[in-house]
Structure 1
Amino acid sequence: MGPGMAATRTGGAGRIRCVAPAPLVLLLLAVLWFCVAGAGGVAHAAGEEDVLPPERAFRFAARQLDNRSIEVHFDIADGYHLYRERFAFAAQPAGVKLGAPEFPPGQVKFDEALGKPMETYHGGVTIRVPVVVAPVDGKWLLTVTSQGCADKGICYPPMHSVYKVGGGLLGGLFDKHRSRTPMTSPVPPATPTLPSMGEGQTGLAVPSAAPTNDGGGDIARVLASRQLGRIATIFLGFGLLLTLTPGVLAMVPILSSIVVGEHVTRGRALLVSFAYVLGTAVAHAGVGVAAGLLGERFSAGPPTPWALEAFAALAVALALSMFGLYELGRQPPMAASSNRWSGGRISVAVALGMISALAVVRSLPVPLAGALAYVEQTGDAVGAGGALFAMAIGMGVPLVLVGVTAGYLVPRAGHWLKVTKRFLGFLLLGEALWAVSPLLPPWALMAAWAILLLIAAAFLGAFDSLGPEPRSLTRLGKGMGMVAALAGAILLVGLASGGRDLLQPLSHLRAGAVAPASTAGPALVRFERIRSVAELDARLVQAAAAGKPVLLDFYADWCVSCKEMERLTFSDPRVQARLADVVLLQADVTRNTADDRILLKRFGLFGPPGIILYGADGRESPVRVIGFQSASLFLDSLAKAFGDDGKH
């Protein structure tokens, strides 16, 4: 028996009780290491060359010299250049008039890609923009369009940078239009709003206003304010809004399994709950810090099988403890061991909280994207880590309430403690299936859920006799067991008859009864796969020539939200009708190749899910869809993005 471990045997059962499970904590921390590697998505070697994102290659700044002139400056990274003829300047409102910009002399060289001599700037360029007519109050917006390339031959799309003139010091801190960051897509400036989540939505349709890079652009601007109180408050609010998302709900059975026990007092339940939430907060902060330290290597890689399988293994291990195979951190009979028990269970709670958070952090695309976009632009890992820490604390508020409630309501001994543990055990097994669902084919997932439901039905007494005078709770358990048995049977029938939809296993039979197989049901949305920026640009040119809007979907096999969009949103007849005249492109970034990373960098994305929309004129819409949206919300997003372009 190793150090820090004591064991006793209970009559007949022969179960091992881990009093102070130090080796177990070390094992969990080892699993945590693999989770960090998976969550970080370090998908390529450190020695591999990377192309800088545009906001780092061309750093934008502007200042007002006087009422009649604005100075615009670009700090250009080594190995990159900007084209003089690609600069353009525009002002809002329409009454503002600008004079001819004053450029410094550049370096003229023959551009192989464009096939002609081009004047370029290296290192940096400062441009003076005369102001002929300005508003009386002196407040207006200057939009600077620029385009550049890396000397190695990779070019960026046109970028838009916005500077608010006349905002003053406070305006510079709080105004949403002010920017020092170029944009990665050619769209006009729009007024952004802080994201909010509604029913049927775990993602956002965000105005991609300059300088927004993605759905987290508004969040990145909050971080850029460097106001710690404001950042903490807003991200704490995000955490509270995320409490009912699958990623947070998945943690409830895990925490409950730690709290439930024969000798857990209410005070200890509260302490263990706080320890678990602290573990999740530390893990979220670690993701932000890792993004800053790894830089380009913290890419859009999937949560990888490492993270998902580790989380599933954790859930299965806890489920086995709920079924009585072993017990974690159980208090021994001697009071003198109380402190050792408490420390052991708290350390387990912290470790489990960290592992749980790292496994589900990728299910929070919007705040995570915002924090990582900020790190990508500034390298401030501490700021992003602190913001994610505050968000995790907000997410943990209901978890603490669950832990305290379990300490008050769950019996500490007897038959109903065993029933409660078994119930939590099945919840944990279901959680394990949920975690690995992106890795399993549909038929295997349906079969696994069917088997789990049937076993749960047997444990709930669905196949047992009630007896002459059954109690109400016994009747309730049998009823729940019969429902589980029916659901499992339906899944088996659907699977055997060719169904592959976990939520609607018999839908294929209904469709076949209504119409012949050749015409059954609405046609599925068909995407054309693209594999590189060159393929995307070619299809965009063709679509613009044909006057058709374009939808570009970033997809991966491991992306849960992508599967939800595919199953629940793109299958909706209204969505299919709306997309009938839209060119549908899809970038499959499952393998996270070099071309995949370049595609993602072009749009400032860290990974799927993400949908980019282009109008019939070939210009990117200021609306992007980040994360899952229900059919109704997605139709609203299409209406905002396409207007009448998407109608037929």
Structure 2
Amino acid sequence: MRWLLFLLISLNVFGVGFLQPDEAFKPSAKMIDPKTLGVELIMGDQIHIYSDKLKVEDTDKNDGIDFKAITMAKPTQLDGESVYEVSPAIRIALEKTKELSGEKKVKVKISYQGCSSAGLCYEPIEKTLEVTLNADTIPLKQSLASSVEKAPVAVTKSIEPAPLPQTETAVKTEVNSEPKAAAKGSETDQIAGVIKGGSLWFIILSFFGFGLLLALTPCVFPMIPIISSVIMAQGAGIGTKRAFWLSVVYVLSMAVAYTIAGILAGLFGANLQAAFQTPWIITLFSLIFVVLAMSMFDLFELQIPNVIQSKITKISGSQSGVIGIAIMGFLSALIVGPCVAAPLAGALIYIGQTGDALLGGTALFSLSIGMGVPLIAIGTSAGKFMPRPGVWMDNIKSIFGVMLIGISIWMISRILDENISLMLWGALAVFVAVNMGALEPIRGRCIRCQRANKKALGIIIFLYGMSLLLGGMAGATNPLHPLNPFLPNQASASVNQPQHKSFEKITSLQELDAILAQNKGKKVMVDFYADWCTACKEYESKTFSDESVKTAMDKYVLVQVNLTANDDKAKEISSKFGIFGPPAILFFDENGVHQKDADIVGFKEPQEFIKHLGQ
């Protein structure tokens, strides 16, 4: 499908005069002498290949035949770029890493990316070629006895090899019909390599560790009050043991959701989490959190009718609440934390490239369990506090109720104007302040007592909440400067300066192609963003707003792709670059060529981001 999409775009934008990829590039491989494998890439008229994109790799390092050395011709210069304008011939010296005899099949992977002189650049392509050779003629590796792993391939580019004989045609070629980005060293590719090359237990432990690290990210934080609230809603007699098992149910349901969504995204490119970010689903789930919060304030008790409840208790009293918590865990994973991180993207890339849903799904499940371990600890702790009823427990329930309302506002803010969101936060702050007694008098003389401290804090929260309310009504959007609209023009102008450099906003692949064409000779940075992505907001408020990051980004044309709508345009551009969801940042060189090895998936702190730009 990606090939078809790419060809249709090429025809619509550039006309019908360009060669199709299989016509522009024709790779072949054969033995040119008893111990040397030759690979050639025949190119069509007015086609050239970038030398840094041309790679030859041994796809099966356990077949007993190793690539001892690779030689190829020197590239030429074209518009400042190192390219091959004539078909490059490649020579591979072979050696055996174990005793072999008779016929042996060897696979070689060739990766390349090139352009037509008329103006069309093709996607990076990988193809695998299979050659049959006589293992008796291949020399045995001299250091075989002391070599456990294969040494890096030595590459020399100073030899001009003779062209491959054109009379020999007995070569069997296996072609991967779908183009893929040339594998090198991007973070997600390295993580995908963990699945490809590691043992099952190594994969499980590695992704479990990744999950523990992801538990510290903003995408997981909102689940803390959720699991605490649903545990506390079970009642005062729940106990630590039952709280532990209910927490496990919540986390397992969350893990199942992540695994199913990940497998679907890897196999079909369908971002199930993005599909759950539609306005009506967000609104419904936000209302659910409000209802749960009201029960935390003891305004009512959530329970089914007594007749039905008694029947359920007779059938399976011990299972009460399990199904509800399982559903909440499943939906929370899809709706509350939809951001993509590098380990998640690496697993999705592996599933998409290999179709191995079982191994990829195992990695995703282990990742989710790692993310859920802190949630289990928190949920168990909530149950530990429950057996001791008292005023203090009511206060804790009220705190969780406020947190649930905060999550509701945080979610609904994805589909509301920023000033309306500011007003909602202000209303919540006023609500908290009033309940802290900010507007109530202190009876009796009390200067250093606890009531005075509580009242003072309540007044501060009340004043801030009122500033948010008034500022939101006047159109303010910045919670740190809610009174901007009421400041004099001169002062307001200085405060209202954008916190980060402005990005050119786009929503389609056609718009991106136009920007790349207009900015030849300039580097381009493309940020994939969505309103419902927590880490995307963190990028804007923390990383892109850092002064050092602003300076480092001066050399880039800044573009932002908005994936909020998750419509056909968003799916098209995501599919083009293998983006499984935001946040993701891509880089293009001066010729508009995608530098896949530089891709960023997931959030990076300012210093880490600057270091990445420097590389």
**TM-score, length-normalised on structure 2?**
0.69
The SS at the match of 1:605 is coil
Deviation at 1:555, TM superposition (A): 2.8
Match of 2:71 among 98, 107, 110: 98
Match of 1:224 in 2: 196
1:258 matched to 2:230: yes
| Other structure's SS at 1:304 match | coil
Change (3 A) 1:61 1:413: farther
Name 2:123's counterpart in structure 1: 157
Q: What is the rounded CA distance, in whole Å, between the counterparts of 2:283 and 2:526 in structure 1?
A: 30
Q: Aligned-pair distance for 1:585?
A: 2.5
Shift of the alpha carbon at 1:448?
0.3
Partner of residue 323, structure 2: 347
SS in 2 for 1:408: helix
Q: 1:155 to 1:395 in 2, by over 3 A?
A: same
> How do residues 363-512 of structure 1 correspond to structure 2 at under 5 angstroms?
363-410=339-386, 412-468=388-444, 477-496=454-473, 498-506=475-483
Q: Which runs of 5+ in 1 are unaligned?
A: 1-45, 75-80, 102-118, 121-126, 187-209, 641-648
Residues 409 and 372 of structure 1, relative CA distance in 2, 3 Å threshold: same
Paired residue type of 2:477: R
AA aligned opposite 1:98: T
**Cα distance in 1 for residues equivalent to 2:323 and 2:218:** 25
Q: 1:517 aligns with which of 493, 511, 524?
A: 493
**Equivalent runs, 1:86-235 vs 2, <5 Å:** 89=54, 96-98=69-71, 129-131=90-92, 144-147=110-113, 156-159=122-125, 184=180, 210-211=183-184, 215-225=187-197, 227-235=199-207
Q: State whether structure 2 residue 212 is matched by structure 1 residue 237.
A: no
* SS, match of residue 98 in structure 1: strand
Q: Deviations over 1:241-262 (max 9, x none)?
A: 1222223221121221222222
Specify whether residues 472 and 497 from structure 1 end up closer, same or farther in structure 2 by C-alpha distance, changes over 3 A only: same
After superposition, give the CA deviation of every residue in 1:615-644 in whole Å (9 maximum; x if it has no partner). Answer: 44655443223233344333332222xxxx
Unaligned runs of at least 5 residues, structure 2: 8-21, 58-67, 75-85, 99-107, 130-140, 155-174
What is the CA–CA distance in structure 2 between the aligned matches of 1:459 and 1:521, rounded to whole Å? 36
- Which residue is equivalent to 1:6? none
The Cα of 1:551 is off from its aligned counterpart by 1.5
One-letter code of the match for 1:351?
Answer: I
Identify the residue that residue 304 of structure 1 maps to in structure 2.
277
Larger radius of gyration: 2
Once the 2 structures are TM-superposed, how far is the Cα of residue 170 of structure 1 from its aligned partner? Answer: 8.3
Post-superposition Cα deviations, 1:145-188, rounded to whole Å, max 9, x if no partner, equal: 43599xxxx9742346899xx9999869x9999xx9998557xx
Q: Secondary structure at the match of 1:248?
A: coil
Pairing 1:625–2:600 present:
yes
- Note the C-alpha offset of 1:445: 0.5
- Structure 1 residues 618 and 87: alpha-carbon distance in aligned structure 2, compared to 1, 3 A threshold: closer
AA partner of residue 459 (structure 1): N
Q: Are the equivalent residues in 2 in contact too, given 1:86–1:145 (CA < 8 A)? A: no
2:523/2:590 contact within 8 Å kept: yes
The aligned residue for residue 588 of structure 2 is: 614
2:81 — aligned with what?
none
Deviation, 1:354, is: 1.1
Structure 2 contact 277–335 (Cα < 8 Å) conserved: no
Partners in 2 of 1:100 and 1:533 — Cα distance?
A: 36
Residues 184, 326 of structure 1: CA spacing in aligned structure 2 closer, same or farther, 3 A cutoff? Answer: same
Superposed displacement of residue 424, structure 1:
1.1
Counterpart amino acid of residue 286 in structure 2: A
- Counterpart amino acid of residue 393 in structure 1: I
Shift, 1:229, TM fit: 1.0
User: Could you tell me how far apart the structure 1 residues matched to 2:153 and 2:584 are?
Assistant: 23
Alignment equivalent of 1:561, drawn from 524, 535, 539: 535
- Deviation, 1:360, is 2.9
- The 1-side partners of 2:369 and 2:588 are apart by 38
* CA distance in 1: counterparts of 2:33 and 2:271, whole angstroms: 42
Give the letter aligned to residue 551 of structure 1.
M
1:547-626 equivalent positions in 2, closer than 5 A: 548-616=522-590, 618-621=592-595, 622-626=597-601
Distance 1:586 1:511, change over 3 A: farther
Tell me the equivalent position of 2:12. Answer: none
In the superposition, relative to structure 1, how do residues 395 and 64 fare at CA in structure 2: closer, same or farther (>3 Å)? Answer: farther
Find 1:282's aligned residue among 240, 246, 256.
256
Q: Which has the higher contact order (CA 8 A, sep 6+)?
A: 1
Q: 1:215 to 1:605 in 2, by over 3 A?
A: farther
Change (3 A) 1:381 1:413: same
Cα offsets for 1:554-579 (capped at 9, x unmatched): 23344333333334333444433333
Distance 1:383 1:581 in 2: 41
Shift of 1:393: 1.3
> For structure 1, which segment, 486-495 or 261-270, has the greater mean C-alpha deviation from structure 2 after superposition?
486-495
Structure 2 CA distance for aligned equivalents of residues 389 and 327 of structure 1 = 35
SS in 1 for 2:335: helix
Alignment of 1:28-67 (within 5 A): none
Distance 2:179 2:613 in 1: 22
SS of residue paired to 1:501: coil
Query: 1:453 offset after TM fit, Å?
Result: 1.1
Measured in 2, the distance between the counterparts of 1:402 and 1:241 equals 16
Count residues in correspondence.
Answer: 519
Letter in 1 for 2:364: L
What percent identity do the matched residue pairs reach? Answer: 32
**2:424–2:469 Cα contact (<8 Å) kept:** no
